[in-house]
Amino acid sequence: MLCFTNNTVNVVPSVLDSISNDGKTKRTNWRSDSQLKSRSNTTLMMNPRLFIGLELSLVPQVEKVFVECLDQGKEFRVLTVVNDRDAAVRSQIYRREQAVMGEFKYSDFDFQIIERQGRCLAEMLNPAGELAYKR
């Protein structure tokens, strides 16, 4: 997502940004219009369900992502499955969820994180929606 302020563009990290080996997002800042004009104006269109699954897959501990699309794409319910309860992992997932919401500004989201804690997912619940990602 691009944000224009004072002839500078700040890029909010998303799945389309490059991630370095240490897990940090490589940000790109443009300082002039001429640099922007040299970039292609091609728009990448992606299925929202696939985009959400791909975005959340950037967190290595995410095992599965289920996405339910409601009201013709105006609302999404997203269920993210991890094995262990870990605050640091939740924080990483929250950042990915923010990136998803930044890409789909005109949609509403209901995110849930399920910690299996070694149990079989089928024993815990019957997830709604389509499987968008499986590790």
Q: What is the pLDDT of residue 23?
A: 58
Could you tell me the pTM of the whole model? 0.67
Q: pLDDT per residue over 7-37, tens digit each?
A: 444 444 555 555 555 655 555 554 555 555 5
Residues 49-91 pLDDT 10s: 999 999 999 999 999 999 999 988 889 999 999 999 999 999 9
3-state SS of the chain is CEEEECCEEEECCCCCCEECCCCCEECCCECCHHHHHCCCCCCCCCCHHHHHHHHHCCCCCCCEEEEEEEHHHCEEEEEEEECCCCHHHHHHHHHHHHHHHHHCCCCEEEEEEEECCCCCHHHHCCCCCEEEEEC
| pLDDT tens column, 86-102 | 999 999 999 999 999 99
